[in-house]
C-alpha cells in the first residue's frame, strides 16, 4: 500500500483548486504513526485556507493561510480527524497499533500550557497534510484515545471542541454566570453551549436563527434561547438575561459585535475565536471603557485542556452534534453544503 485517495488543494482559489487524486503515502518518521482515517469533520478553515482567507497584519485582503502566510501547495486539508493507528515509526511502541484515536490538531515547541501560543505553531491540514484522505501521518504523542466508539462523533472534538473549551477557560467562566453563546448552532457554538452549561455550570443563553431550535438547545444544556433575527435583539437578550450577561462567547464576528458589547454587563468579557459573518467591525471605544469590558482573542487550546475535554465527552457531559455525513469523494459537495446550509452541528467526511 503505497498510494491513497485524497483531495489536495493545489493553490488559493475556488472549488476547482480542490482536486481528487491518487497520491503517494509519505514515509513515517521514527516518532510518527500512520492513521487510517475513519472520519474528518469540516471546518471553515478548510475552506478559508483554500480561498486564502486569513489576510495578514498589514492587509486584511491578502491571500494567506491560518498562520497568516503562504501555504505550500499541494496540501491536503482537514484538521478535525479521527481514525485508527495502522502502522508505527521505529521508535513508537507496537502496542498502540489498532488504537482508535483523535488527533491533537497542531505541533509546536511551546511549553506546557502555552503550546497554542508558540510562534512556530503548525497545523494539520495547513502546514501538514490533513484529513481529506484515506490516511494521515501524525506524531504518535499527538494521537489521543478516541473518547467515543463512534469515530464520526469523535472527529469534531480536536478543533471545534478544543476551541470552545479554551474560550471558556479564557473567560474564566464560573458556576452560575450568565453566558451568551453566539452562533450556538454551529460547530464551535454547539460545543460551547454544552461545555459552558454542563461542565462549568453557567446559565447559557443560546443565540440561534429562530425559536424552532429552542428544544434542541435546551437538550444541549441551554437555559434560554434567543432568535437573532429579531428587530429588537438587544432588548430580547437583556430581557432573557435580566441584564446580567457576564460573558459573550463569539464566533460570528461583525454581525453580532455591537449587540454583544451592548448586552454585556459592566466588567463583562467578550471572547472571540472566529468571524463567520465578517472579520472587520466597528468598535466605539467609549463602550469599552465606560463599561470596563474585557476583549479577549482565543485560538484552539492546550493539551491539558484537550485531556479535560476528552474526559468530559467520555463522561457524557458533552456530545458532538453531527448534522450530516458525506463520503470522502463528495468533499466538494460537503464544502458547498457546509458553506451555504443552515446546519446544526458538524458536517463530516467518511473516507
Ligand atoms: N480560532 C480558532 O481556533 C477557530 C476554531 C474553529 C473555528 N473558528 C472560526 O469560528 C467561526 C465559526 O466556526 P464554526 O465551525 O462554528 O462555523 P459554523 O459551524 O459554520 O457555525 C457558524 C455559526 O455562526 C452563525 N452565524 C453566521 N452568520 C451569522 C449572522 N450574520 N448572524 C448571526 N449568526 C450567524 C451560524 O448561524 P446560522 O446557521 O443561523 O447562520 C452558526 O451558528 C469561523 O469563522 C471559524 O473559522 C476558529
161-297 — its CATH code? 3.40.50.720
Q: What is the mean pLDDT of the chain?
A: 96
Beta strand spans in 25-105 (E): 32-41, 80-88, 100-103
**Rounded mean pLDDT, 347-351:** 97
- Do 28 and 88 form a contact (C-beta atoms < 8 A)? yes
- Mutate which of 276, 301, 322 for ligand 1? The one with the most ligand atoms within 8 Å of its CB, which is 276
Q: The domain 3-156+320-350 is classified under which CATH number: 3.90.180.10, 1.10.10.10, 1.10.3720.10, 3.50.50.60?
A: 3.90.180.10
Give the per-residue pLDDT at 80: 98
pLDDT at 66: 74
Q: Tell me the pLDDT band of 210, cut-offs 50, 70 and 90.
A: very high
**Residue located nearest, by CA, to atom 11 of ligand 1:** 274
Q: Given ligand 1 and candidates 251, 277, 347, which is best to mutate, with the most ligand atoms within 8 Å of its CB?
A: 251
CA distances from 256 to 16, 166, 202, 308, 339 (A): 32, 20, 21, 30, 19
Q: pLDDT value at position 57?
A: 75
pLDDT of residue 341: 73
In this prediction, residue 63 carries a pLDDT of 78
What is the chain's alpha carbon radius of gyration, rounded to the nearest angstrom? 20
Is the separation of the CB atoms in 240 and 217 below 8 Å? no
- How many CB atoms lie under 10 A from the CB of residue 27? 10
**What is the tens place of the pLDDT at every residue in 79-128?**
999 999 999 999 999 999 999 999 999 999 999 999 999 999 999 999 99
Residue 106, pLDDT score: 98
Q: Ligand 1 pocket check: which of 65, 165, 186 to mutate, most ligand atoms within 8 Å of Cβ?
A: 186
- List the one residue out of 83, 81, 80 whose CA is nearest residue 159: 80
Nearest CA among 78, 80, 75 for reference residue 130: 78
Which ligand 1 atom is at minimum distance from the Cα of 341? 39
pLDDT greater than 80 at residue 340: yes
Report CA-CA distances (Å) from 167 to 108, 192, 216: 20, 8, 22
For 126-174, write each residue's pLDDT tens digit: 999 999 999 999 999 999 999 999 999 999 999 999 999 999 999 999 9
CA quadruple 265, 188, 107, 75: dihedral, nearest 10: -130
pLDDT at 68 (0 to 100): 79
Question: What is the pLDDT, as a whole number, of residue 195?
Answer: 98
Give residues with Cβ within 8 angstroms of 350, minimum separation 6.
38, 39, 152, 325, 326, 327, 328
342, pLDDT greater than 90: no
Give the tens place of pLDDT for each residue, 36-63: 999 999 999 999 999 988 787 777 777 7
**Spacing, Cα 313 to ligand 1 middle (Å):** 22
The pLDDT of residue 215 is 97
* Residue ranges around ligand 1 (CB below 6 Å): 43-45, 159-160, 163, 183, 185-189, 209, 228, 251-252, 255-256, 273-277, 299-300, 342
Q: Which three cell numbers stand for residue 220?
A: 444541549
User: What number is the average pLDDT over the span 201-217?
Assistant: 97
At residue 326 the predicted structure's pLDDT band, cuts being 50, 70 and 90, is very high
Helical segments of the chain, H only? 44-51, 151-154, 162-170, 187-194, 214-220, 233-241, 254-263, 285-290, 303-314, 331-340
| β-bridge pairing 32-41 and 135-139 | antiparallel
Q: How many CB atoms lie within 10 A of CB 61?
A: 9
Residue 45 grid cell: 478553515
Give domain limits for the chain: 3-156+320-350, 161-297
Amino acid at each position: 500500500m503505497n498510494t491513497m485517495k485524497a483531495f489536495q488543494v493545489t493553490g488559493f482559489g475556488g472549488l476547482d483548486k480542490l482536486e481528487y487524486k491518487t497520491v503517494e503515502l509519505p514515509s513515517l518518521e521514527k516518532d510518527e504513526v500512520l492513521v487510517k482515517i475513519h472520519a474528518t469533520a469540516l471546518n471553515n478553515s478548510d475552506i478559508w485556507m483554500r480561498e486564502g482567507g486569513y489576510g495578514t497584519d498589514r492587509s486584511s485582503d491578502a491571500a494567506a493561510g491560518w498562520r497568516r502566510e503562504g501555504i505550500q501547495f499541494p496540501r491536503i486539508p482537514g484538521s478535525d480527524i479521527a481514525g485508527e493507528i495502522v502502522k508505527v515509526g521505529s521508535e513508537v511502541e507496537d502496542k498502540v497499533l489498532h488504537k482508535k484515536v483523535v488527533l491533537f490538531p497542531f505541533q509546536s515547541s511551546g511549553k506546557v500550557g502555552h503550546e497554542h501560543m508558540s510562534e512556530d505553531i503548525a497545523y494539520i491540514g495547513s502546514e501538514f497534510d490533513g484529513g481529506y484522505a484515506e490516511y494521515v501521518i501524525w506524531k504518535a504523542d499527538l494521537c489521543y484515545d478516541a473518547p467515543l466508539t463512534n469515530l464520526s462523533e469523535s472527529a469534531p472534538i480536536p478543533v471545534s471542541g478544543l476551541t470552545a473549551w479554551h474560550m471558556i477557560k479564557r473567560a474564566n467562566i464560573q458556576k452560575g454566570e450568565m453566558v451568551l453563546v453566539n452562533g450556538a448552532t454551529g460547530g464551535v457554538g454547539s460545543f460551547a453551549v454544552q461545555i459552558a452549561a454542563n461542565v462549568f455550570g453557567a446559565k447559557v443563553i443560546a443565540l440561534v436563527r429562530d425559536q424552532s431550535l429552542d428544544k434542541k438547545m435546551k437538550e444541549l444544556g441551554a437555559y434560554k434561547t434567543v432568535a437573532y433575527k429579531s428587530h429588537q435583539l438587544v432588548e430580547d437578550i437583556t430581557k432573557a438575561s435580566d441584564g446580567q450577561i457576564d460573558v459573550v462567547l463569539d464566533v460570528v464576528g461583525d454581525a453580532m459585535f455591537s449587540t454583544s458589547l451592548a448586552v454585556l454587563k459592566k466588567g463583562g468579557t467578550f471572547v472571540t475565536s472566529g468571524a463567520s459573518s465578517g472579520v472587520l467591525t466597528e468598535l466605539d471605544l467609549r463602550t469599552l471603557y465606560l463599561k470596563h469590558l474585557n476583549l479577549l482573542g482565543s485560538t484552539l487550546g492546550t493539551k491539558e485542556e484537550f485531556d479535560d475535554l476528552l474526559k468530559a465527552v467520555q463522561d457524557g457531559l458533552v456530545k458532538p452534534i453531527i448534522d450530516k455525513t458525506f463520503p470522502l469523494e463528495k468533499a466538494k459537495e460537503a464544502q458547498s453544503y457546509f458553506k451555504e446550509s443552515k446546519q446544526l452541528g458538524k458536517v463530516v467526511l467518511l473516507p
